[in-house]
């Protein structure tokens, strides 16, 4: 959500229900400077997952698993694109798994390089793309 859009919403807040405004702002982070709104930053819908929570985090439906590592330059480069896609495709679950912290998930999905994307439908792998 852009700053002008946010300002329009706030100025017209009386025309919006509190619930609707909350939903619209839930995916944005306000940047405050000296108590005033300076900017709005969009937040992603990417879920960071640990080994022990992977199966629990996976909801029914379509999903993308993004295997990454903090030391990986291509992973850092693709991160903003992945986060943007997570906001554009709200019907798809976007998960992020760091292979250094979650070696069991990396082994289970046979990850040999990062970044790797695993595309799933109803918890079944459709395709896997190794970009590293």
pLDDT of residue 43: 59
Domains of the chain in sequence order? 3-42 (no CATH), 47-130 (3.40.30.10)
Q: Is the pLDDT of residue 37 over 80?
A: no
Active site residue 111: no
Structure pTM?
A: 0.67
pLDDT tens digits, 49-62: 887 788 888 888 89
Q: CA-CA distance, 27 to 83, in Å (whole number)?
A: 12
Mean pLDDT of 54-72: 90
* Residue of 64, 65, 72, 99 marked active site: 72
pLDDT value for 58: 80
Answer yes or no: 71 catalytic.
no
What pLDDT score does 8 carry? 53
- Considering 75, 97, 99, 106, which one is annotated as catalytic? 75
């Amino acid at each position: 959500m852009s700053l002008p859009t946010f300002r329009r919403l706030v100025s017209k807040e009386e025309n919006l229900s509190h619930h609707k405004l909350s939903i619209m702002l839930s995916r944005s982070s306000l940047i405050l400077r000296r108590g005033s709104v300076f900017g709005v930053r969009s937040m992603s819908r990417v879920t960071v997952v640990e080994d022990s929570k992977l199966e629990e985090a996976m909801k029914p439906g379509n999903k993308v698993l993004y295997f990454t590592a903090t030391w990986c330059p291509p992973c850092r480069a693709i991160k903003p694109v992945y986060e943007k896609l997570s906001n554009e495709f709200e019907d798809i679950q976007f998960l992020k798994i760091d292979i250094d912290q979650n070696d069991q998930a990396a082994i289970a999905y046979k990850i040999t390089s990062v970044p790797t994307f695993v595309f799933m439908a109803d918890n079944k792998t459709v395709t896997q793309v190794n970009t590293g």
